Amino acid sequence: MDHTFCPGAKFLRQPKPEMYPCPTCGEEVEIWSDEIRGYCATCKKAVLKDSSTSCLDWCQYGKDCVGEEVYSKYMENRAVSLRQKLLGDLGRFFGEDTNRIDHARDVLQFAEELLKEETADWHVVVPAAILHDVGIKPAEEKYGSSEARYQEAEGPPVAKKILFKHGLKQEDIDEICDIIGHHHSPREEEKPNFRIVFDADCLVNMRRMVDGKSKEDTEKLIDDTFLTPTGKRMARRLFLS
């Protein structure tokens, strides 16, 4: 493929510095066109620029055009930008239910830690971690219960409406919704993206699961529950040390 004639990806292949005002102090902050954030030299705060949709979001040749490394960096940056928007959506959706919002933030934090060690797709894992429990609210309204089978059934339609307005690829929306639709119920074979969201959720919930258990029982529970090597290591450090 001739890489000369794709202007849509030029800002990634040939990045340039751009200036953005710091929302905290107003100082100008330099952020390169292939980055999503910079740090203010005056107040030290992170400055996140709003990312617009690129041809890499929909072009089937995107990864070949810019290369694996540049493409992966772009998708990770896209996830960082999307993260802020989805957390805002989540807050509006759950309203005063701060327990659900705090739980999602905790799961997201563990998912991002797992992503540093496990190979997976940031742009799938981050939205799935944030929205994994959105089915709880409609399940309680419809069935009077947040039982897993109800929230897993109700979650994907809610998540799809939220994700669609942010310009994600249909295949990514489908995978995110699939994760949400069975995030308590692993299948025999799961992709890395699911395994990370599942383990992140388990790391948050594990505290009450191991309460009162012996060390041996806790070790067995960790081995039987977690799907990634990093998840098992994190759980041992948190619950066996």
Angle, helices 170-180 vs 192-210, to 10°: value is 30
Asked whether residue 216 is domain-assigned, the answer is yes
182 found inside a domain: yes
Span between the terminal Cα atoms of the chain, in Å = 53
To the question of pTM greater than 0.95 for the whole model, the response is no
Domain assignment of residue 83, yes or no: yes
Specify the pLDDT at position 212.
87
Domain limits for position 160: 79-239
* pLDDT per position as a tens digit, 135-184: 999 999 999 999 999 999 999 999 999 999 887 889 999 999 999 999 99
Q: Is residue 101 part of a domain?
A: yes
CATH of the domain at 121: 1.10.3210.10
Residue 186 lies in a domain: yes
At 187-225, the pLDDT tens digits run 999 999 999 999 999 999 998 899 889 999 999 999 999
Domain tally for the chain? 1
| 74 within some domain | no
Does some domain include residue 23? no
Using the structure block, give the residue that is written with the tokens 């959105």: 134
* 1 falls within a domain: no
Q: Which residues contact 62 (CB under 8 A, 6 or more apart)?
A: 9, 55, 56, 71
